[in-house]
A and B are shown apart, each in its own frame.
Chain A
């Protein structure tokens, strides 16, 4: 079971990393980041439940991770809406105004 959880979270993290590198839409990149955070949460809970002494601590850490991810999503989505208002696109390859 522990082995399966570690394989699962590694695969989920890899899929998220692939999505983050390959997609160009900011919303899709945010989805990929959320997948990677979920993989980390699964890893923390699995390791503290199946290979540690303090399972409650792992779940508290997972809760805090969910809170941080929710705050990050709120800020990121509002930024996307503001960026779209300025440049009519949220494609990262067209957002090059800061390029030197």
Chain B
């Protein structure tokens, strides 16, 4: 039995179901929980591709950090006492149509390209990724570090209440 194929099928189904819930449910909390489920499914897809390290990083970053941060932001900013306003049917249909056309165009491009399989699956460990990251891609690594520090400080500056403007 092809275990990678089975894991891929189950994980992809979970991820697509979670993604549908993440954009479909009306409640923002249900959206965030479905998003975490979708990211778990995507991590399963990475596992089936043999990318164990990326799968763990996805669970840690998206399910562990991003979803929790989104819950905090929703609690701080979403007007939960307001009932959701009804949506215009034409807007929903237009969004679905545009997304369908976009995905169809991407699929046409992907299908028309010729992908050559090298045969055999390469083994990639976390050690390989670390060596490459600090040897060939060290500039990108340092830029990401700077970007994360700047983003963290910027987030604190933007979200804090200024003491000057009367509590704002």
Contacts and interface: CB of A to CB of B under 8 A. Distances in A.
Name the residue among B28, B98, B151 with the largest chain A CB count within 10 angstroms.
B151
B158 interface: yes
B16 A8 contact: yes
Nearest to A14: B103
A13 B128 CA distance: 29
18 contacts: A2-B117, A12-B42, A32-B22, A35-B38, A46-B49, A49-B49, A50-B115, A50-B117, A52-B118, A53-B118, A60-B133, A63-B133, A66-B54, A66-B58, A70-B66, A78-B154, A80-B73, A85-B168
Contacts of A81: 73, 76-77, 158-159
Contacts of A51: 115-118
A8 to B, nearest CB: 5
Contacts of B49: 5, 45-46, 49-50
A97 B87 CA distance: 22
Contacts of A92: none
B96 to A, nearest CB: 6
Contact of A35 (B19, B103, B147, B150): B19
Interface of A: 1-2, 4-8, 10-19, 21-23, 25, 27-28, 30-32, 34-35, 38, 41-42, 45-47, 49-53, 55-57, 59-60, 62-64, 66-75, 77-85, 88-90
Q: Sort chain B's interface into a size bin.
A: 35 or more
Interface string B120-139: 01101000110011000100
A78 B70 CA distance: 10
Given A68-B144, A70-B148, A77 B72 contact: yes
B23 A22 contact: yes
B99 A18 contact: yes
A27 B74 CA distance: 7
A88 B76 CA distance: 10
Interface of B: 4-5, 8-9, 12, 15-16, 19-20, 22-23, 28, 31-32, 35, 38-39, 42, 45-46, 49-51, 53-54, 57-58, 61-62, 65-66, 69-70, 72-74, 76-79, 87, 91-92, 94-96, 98-100, 102-103, 106-107, 110-111, 115-118, 121-122, 124, 128-129, 132-133, 137, 140-141, 144, 147-148, 150-152, 154-156, 158-159, 161, 168
